[in-house]
Structure 1
Amino acid sequence: MKTPILNVGLVGFGMSSQVFHAPLIQATPGLELSCVVSGDPDKVQRAMPEVEMVAKAAELYARADIDLVVIATPNATHYPLAKAALAAGKHVVVDKPFTISLSEARLLKQQAEEAERTLCVFHNRRWDSDFLTLKGVMEEGTLGRVVAMESRFDRFRPDVPDRWRERRGPGAGLWYDLGPHLLDQARELFGMPRAILLDIATRRDGAEVDDDFLALLDYNGVRVSLSAATLAAEPTPRFRVHGTRGSFVKFGLDPQEARLKAGETPSPQWGDDPLMARLTLADGEGNPGEPRELRCQPGDYLAFYSGVAEHLVHATPPPVDIDGALEVMALLESGLDSYRQGRWVKL
């Protein structure tokens, strides 16, 4: 039986679309990238001459042949663009963060349910190689009872680029950029915390918005620390997790983003991570044993769009549950409340 083809319209053609959405959509069986909405036709033509382009989202939404709309635009536009797409009867994928407020996200969920349309958020870091590996280690009980996790996205980018994420405005800054990734992964591993404490800062010369943050999540018996920085030249661990039976440490980022930026096409084994994780487990006498290297599971960003296609055609569960995406928005918003009030905020 021939697999149905779903026509996809992509709204926006910035970095997120060019690096993630367009190549992943084009590599997913059952999906056809049919049209791109962009105000820069030359850029789209150079990158994808075979794909049609329109200047306005309304032109895309009016097309009867478009089944799925993917919104990869500045954060503050997610809500109005998704609202209009749902009103036009389209299924919708929204890049993270879902919206810039929890109230907007809830309204979109309600609208999607009333329209009987699928609404899904692109939390692709659930398919990072290191995260998949850590999740498996924890599910197997290798570390015993986990008592602490440190998860970091550190970079060294002292020069402030001229782009919307770096300019003052709703949804700008590092907390809304990398915070959703870290919060979603923590929520996937431990569920919702009891409380959150956030500190954000502006560190770089000439920076207008936050470019550094530290968030602490309060779980029963587990301390979770999430942080990101733009002035970290020395490599720091991506994950450091401690339990009653040992520790898991991983340096280096999942390689999929770098490979997409280099123009590689997703394929089998494409998500292999050349960097090993390190396990240090207790010996028979309760002392730390010799550290051993652990090969990471292959990352698989294609799983998101493959899951979307399967969901739309065969009614399987969506790859990212909308209630989970709402919980990430609750954490983002509660974190900002914590920073403004200078205290822990209970959830």
Structure 2
Amino acid sequence: MTNQSPVPVPVSVALIGFGLSGKYFHAPFLKVNPCYQITAVMQRHGEDSRAMFPQAALFRDFHELLRQANAELVIITTPNDTHFQLAMQALKAGKHVVVEKPVTLSTNEMAELMAYAEKNNQLLVPFHNRRFDSGFRTVQQMVQSSLIGEIVEAWLQFDRWRPQPRVHWRERALPGSGILYDLGPHLIDQALCLFGKPQAVTAYLGRQRPGAQVEDMFEIWLAYETLMVKLHAGMLVCDPTPRYLLRANGGAFVKYSDDPQEALLRQGHLPNNPYWGTEPPEAWGIMYKNPASAEAFPSLRGDYGLFYRQLYEAIRHQQKPPVTAMDGYHTIQLIELAMESHRSRQWLSLN
């Protein structure tokens, strides 16, 4: 008699939104994972979701989807200023909820969602997928293993060359738009994962491009007892800048290239091969033990699919989710403090 692994009971999913995030960062990983079954998609315009999920019911209205769709899990990938309202409605309909970053625009809204989810034993999970970048996973390994000693300075940067503002909600004068709400959650979450909550924060938010309606660059400094962390994002960066930089009492680590997954997803590739997210040696970071030494350090494999594999274990087997609601709260808290620091031109304590 052979022992056979139990067949997983798929989680039924309603995917809300099929724009950049829904189409490229969620749908491919759900499609190739047998632990999930997409039963419904809400797409305001067009029907291109049918090509990936022909069996799913297509809805134009969120309330109608909640009334009619068979779904345990609702994944919200709509514009930032809609997240709170949609997430609360999904929770009140008895669903587990995944929400694109930032989950809400304020800590007050986030606390309200968290209280409801906890009271009703539901999962509220921020989608902080950049935890699963190849570069970040490698930096995390570097920090946790103390390969270069105690970290005293860290730079986390997410820069682009986009000299002309786009006609897009992210770059219009709307609640939740601008680069701080767009790229800020990625960098803040990575810093919190690596080093925990800082003691104090200061920030500068700028508009560098002519015609920019919202902030298109930021620099945030996080102060710890023996460590300083710089977070930077900008739209006018055409020179090679490190994506990650660590300085420590036993050396340094620098990495320029970014994770390969987004480019592959935008090209239409599915994450269904064992080499997914693997970087070539020329993309690896460099570790220094002294100024004269430079050693290529192999990157760990990037895999956004880890998020959904861990989420399945949280839903079916009550394991810890890949990102906790409190992680999302702390990210939004630092966004609020960064905005207040910019207005007041001073360091702010997290105490």
TM over 0.5: yes
Partner of 2:65: 60
Q: Give aligned-pair identity as a percent.
A: 38
Deviation of residue 269 (structure 1)? 1.8
Partner of 1:77: 82
Partner of 1:293: 296
**Within 5 A, what are the aligned runs for 1:152-167?**
152-167=157-172
Deviation of residue 64 (structure 1)? 5.9
1:273 matched to 2:295: no
**Within 5 A, what are the aligned runs for 1:11-26?**
11-26=16-31
Partner of 2:251: 246
Aligned AA (1:38) = Q
Deviation of residue 86 (structure 1)? 0.3
Listed one character per residue, the Cα deviations across residues 258-308 of structure 1 (whole Å, up to 9, x for unaligned) are 1111111113220112211100113xxxxx341010110001100001111
Listed one character per residue, the Cα deviations across residues 111-144 of structure 1 (whole Å, up to 9, x for unaligned) are 1011211110000111111111111111111111
**Within 5 A, what are the aligned runs for 1:184-199?**
184-199=189-204
Listed one character per residue, the Cα deviations across residues 31-86 of structure 1 (whole Å, up to 9, x for unaligned) are 01121111113343455444321011112212362110000011010000000000
Deviation of residue 104 (structure 1)? 0.3
Aligned AA (2:289) = L
CA contact (8 A) 1:61 1:90 kept: no
Aligned AA (2:329) = L
- Separation in structure 1 between the aligned mates of residue 38 and residue 31 of structure 2, nearest angstrom: 6
Secondary structure at the aligned position of 1:152 is classed as: strand
- Separation in structure 2 between the aligned mates of residue 141 and residue 190 of structure 1, nearest angstrom: 13
Secondary structure at the aligned position of 1:325 is classed as: helix
Secondary structure at the aligned position of 1:10 is classed as: strand
Task: Find 2:318's aligned residue among 304, 308, 315.
Answer: 315
CA contact (8 A) 1:100 1:171 kept: yes
Gaps of 5+ in 1: 283-287
CA contact (8 A) 1:41 1:53 kept: no
- Relative to the length of structure 1, the TM-score reads 0.96
- Relative to the length of structure 2, the TM-score reads 0.95
- Separation in structure 1 between the aligned mates of residue 287 and residue 330 of structure 2, nearest angstrom: 31
Partner of 1:92: 97
Partner of 1:285: none
**Within 5 A, what are the aligned runs for 1:32-47?**
32-45=37-50
- Separation in structure 2 between the aligned mates of residue 166 and residue 199 of structure 1, nearest angstrom: 18
Partner of 1:142: 147
Partner of 1:346: 349
- Separation in structure 2 between the aligned mates of residue 257 and residue 48 of structure 1, nearest angstrom: 20
1:231 matched to 2:263: no
Aligned AA (2:276) = W
CA RMSD of aligned residues (A): 1.2
Aligned AA (1:301) = Y
CA contact (8 A) 2:208 2:217 kept: yes
- Separation in structure 2 between the aligned mates of residue 48 and residue 279 of structure 1, nearest angstrom: 44
Question: Are the structure 2 counterparts of residues 49 and 206 from structure 1 closer, same or farther at C-alpha, using a change threshold of 3 Å?
Answer: farther
Deviation of residue 14 (structure 1)? 1.3
Which deviates further from its counterpart, 271-280 or 19-28? Answer: 19-28
CA contact (8 A) 1:239 1:251 kept: yes
Secondary structure at the aligned position of 2:97 is classed as: strand
Partner of 2:309: 306
Secondary structure at the aligned position of 2:243 is classed as: strand
Task: Find 2:112's aligned residue among 98, 107, 124.
Answer: 107
Aligned AA (1:177) = D
CA contact (8 A) 2:12 2:71 kept: yes
Gaps of 5+ in 2: 1-5
1:173 matched to 2:181: no
- Separation in structure 1 between the aligned mates of residue 119 and residue 217 of structure 2, nearest angstrom: 39
- Separation in structure 2 between the aligned mates of residue 44 and residue 290 of structure 1, nearest angstrom: 50
